[in-house]
Structure 1
């Protein structure tokens, strides 16, 4: 079968691998769509903190069940599904307390272990979720939405809270969507003008900040928050020292800061500002089964058109193209890396359901 491989930073190749062997308690899945996550792009660029090489990328996907045994989850051959890609050890202190998303020995598909970007994969039955009739494309977008939704849930957003999301990539935009759904007055900041405008207009956000200088950022925060003197909630969805600092600076006294972004660089900052403002600093890692099932129902109910996260789906312009065929995988990574400022979610089409 065909498999996408990143043998080393800066290189993507298509290779042939053996069909996986289905073990007890597993199902054989045919991959339909796969989304290139920021972490996959970071693995390609050599900037992702958890990357190892060689690596098969991919943890955002939809699939069709090809083979499955008797189970108590109502899963049957032919069903279109998505999966939880975070493998926990079930033994550490976090797992013992049910915090399986932040397992001390977590292995996420495409990061600490080989991922889903092959024509066929196997998955434990308990990690497979019924797509409930959602399209394969929408189901491939559920996992990144879960990442954002989990972080936003950590922020405990109340109706009317002023919320700033820093980062207009997929995770940032979906965090803005989730924060708005929870009643927040949501603003989004980024340096990429096209993605910023798209997020603002497409998802009906309260406003945006072009984060092209410290001065402009500070001025816009003051303009927006006025007497509030900062945002109630700041969500970091980039993974850079500068954008985490932006969150500390933009948060109101008594505010909450949630870190979703993943980076490899250190930040030297005046940590006493956390004490001075009495900030709640919250990390957010991965997601839980409840996030997947809740969001499948939410999207199924029509509250959110998740496929709008894919900009320019029909474009063949390499600077804007957002959907690729499996044989175009190398171009998908190269062009996403080069033209990321005008692309939000990039999908690879593996196959159609039978």
Structure 2
């Protein structure tokens, strides 16, 4: 089968691999759509995961069950599924507390085990979720959407009257649209790129240029503020835009050695809640339910649906343009 193959740090190519063999409790999934995430690039360059090379990347994927192991009775060939990539141990303290995304030995399809940038993938059946008639390119958004929902849930963002998301890339816009889907009507997005802000406005979001006087006049104005850029300076600055009693969410992935300066007195005096979020936590079904209700806005975030070979160049930052949103390997 054709697959994108990471054979070492910074080494990626298109390979012909043997079709994976079925093990007990597993299903063979024919991948129909698999989304590219910045985490895939971090895995390739050794900035995320445990360097489990060789590896087939891809943790945002959906497809059709091709075959099931003999002991599997709850799935059958032809079922349309999305995959929850996280593989927790189920035994450590975090897992016992229900925080499986914080498992001490967390593994994941596409990070430490072969994932979805291939024609076929074998998956434990407990990680399959039925997608009904949802188009595959939308079903493949379930994983990043579930990550967003995990963050919004931790921050109790649905109770906000208004919100500001820094970053008008695909994950920032997915977060902004998720806030709208959860009933937050007044959602703004800040970015330095005008074309991305224009696109955000077409999605029904309020665009704000980072560094502008329009944004500067809105300090202490937002019940909920989130960073979806991973830029430490943005994380530091977002506290200034959080209203008294509001919540700030660190969602973007900053460099591990990055540091910020925040005045503890300001957090104390203004009763600011500072919240973190990592990955998803068994909430693919919630994400799929939102995608089923979506009016087409989230689907617009998929800007590229490409053959496997054409996805490879996007593993280099230089390929993407401001108009690039979610890039997917797609067979549709």
Return the TM-score normalized by structure 2: 0.90
Q: Is 1:342 paired with 2:323?
A: yes
Supply the distance in 2 between the matched residues of 1:114 and 1:35 (Cα, whole angstroms): 14
Are the aligned partners of 2:189 and 2:207 in contact in 1 as well (CA < 8 Å)? yes
Q: Is 1:326 paired with 2:322?
A: no
Change (3 A) 1:27 1:47: closer
Q: Is 1:220 paired with 2:214?
A: yes
Supply the distance in 2 between the matched residues of 1:277 and 1:146 (Cα, whole angstroms): 30
Supply the distance in 1 between the matched residues of 2:262 and 2:61 (Cα, whole angstroms): 41
Change (3 A) 1:303 1:156: farther
Unaligned ranges ≥5, structure 2: none
Unaligned ranges ≥5, structure 1: 312-321
Q: How does 1:1-354 map to 2 (within 5 A)?
A: 1-44=1-44, 46=45, 48-50=47-49, 52=51, 54=53, 55-68=55-68, 69=70, 71=72, 73=74, 75-158=75-158, 161-184=161-184, 185-201=186-202, 203-205=203-205, 207-211=206-210, 213=211, 216=212, 219-224=213-218, 229-264=220-255, 265-272=257-264, 273-289=266-282, 291-311=283-303, 322-334=304-316, 337-349=318-330, 351-352=331-332
Q: Aligned residues, how many?
A: 327
Root-mean-square deviation (CA, aligned residues, Å) is 2.3
Change (3 A) 1:172 1:340: same
Q: Give CA deviations for 1:251-282 in whole Å, capped at 9, x if unaligned.
A: 12221111221122421303413233321111
Q: CA deviation at 1:126?
A: 0.9
Return the TM-score normalized by structure 1: 0.85
Are the aligned partners of 2:28 and 2:121 in contact in 1 as well (CA < 8 Å)? yes
Are the aligned partners of 2:61 and 2:116 in contact in 1 as well (CA < 8 Å)? yes
Change (3 A) 1:197 1:132: same
Supply the distance in 2 between the matched residues of 1:193 and 1:7 (Cα, whole angstroms): 38
Q: Secondary structure at the match of 2:275?
A: strand
Are the aligned partners of 2:160 and 2:223 in contact in 1 as well (CA < 8 Å)? no
Supply the distance in 2 between the matched residues of 1:302 and 1:283 (Cα, whole angstroms): 26
